[in-house]
Chain A
């Protein structure tokens, strides 16, 4: 940039609500017409929506099955396990907020506020559950305070997240024969818990595979390259449903007799392979964005190929694709609904099951699906909002 940049003064902008109206709504006769038509449309739509939601809709199947929506058929006496997991996440969120700041703050605050609001709702709720809701925002705060300590470093927080992921799986699954942590069959996992778990496992497990595939695709070894390209293009060329069906119908045929893989695990494997192909393309985008000069400089200071990749290229490339990975996580989160087609009881599956559970609820599809859609919307919209801020924070000039 030049040394002196003359800052042009913006011409005085419009002022006052009247001027704003003139500019944005009633500038010309057809603008006015459009505005009136839109106003009428908004009015009719909102009136219809409110009249339906508050007067004619029967929300009984939703309000009566909140536990099912949250956890599926996870045993009542073991509900403390997912509860503990969310508490851990709250605490780690608080710590990350202090240590990493930026966008994490949005996530942490959103989590604390959302659960705090639920805790304050004037509805009938058992005391332990209400206490649990109160405990979450408190733990976010506690984590934030702990984050002040000098001992807590970025890498420790990262390690905490990784450990908590492993602990989550162990805690949910339990062990056979252990009295205080009995095994919970994956057929019992369901609802929002399963939705999140499928998406998280998919994205976490696909990450290393995706990185390897991306490196393989850019490799100078023709055999490796061909295998990687074939895998990536094959998986990206077919819809996710076909891959899920492969996992649920074909995979058992491909395994030796006697080897059985759990149904939820097969769905996770399918999701992982699917996500890995897309992850590979994301990472490849990041690798391509690294200027050749970086590699040459690394060679010049005497790093070998492996070191160049691990210490110079990958860290920069992965940093550049974080927004893309978050975007992929959001897409995968929405794609988990497809698991209902192979008979898993995630959020949408719970909705279907609830509708069939009582004859008088059979025709309440609208209420149930609108609730599920709203739930997805809240999660996805807030995640993509945070992801846009993350993109801006990582953004231009850094790369």
Chain B
């Protein structure tokens, strides 16, 4: 899971304080592994240093975390590029793809198109592995099969998620 890009995505939805960002991150993406406050603020500092967010105002009073962060054009472009590019097809990509789908729905972006792009990238890799299998030895085939079955499992997840997008959209935007 890319924490900086996920926080940027949440900021594209609306300007937020660090505390609110942590709360939303934990609710949607934490899945039992809450983001430490220290990581939230260090990530936001780096994003500010790199010109991807700016601090809009500092509310007086309640502690050190009252800075409100706003995404910049540079940050928004980075989110856009991240969402539209397929993830390298390899096992265990679900956490990244999961974050992309949820954020895309939150931001009213075309999540179905992103899933289609990912499906094409997966099938392209599956074709490469199938050619290795057809041209190679039985040991090559065994190794290629391992990759093929994992990619197929990802594709089933993509299909199922695609079929549930309308319901998911309602849930994450409620």
Partners in one complex: no
Q: What is the interface of chain A, defined by CB distance below 8 A to chain B?
A: none
Q: What is the interface of chain B, defined by CB distance below 8 A to chain A?
A: none
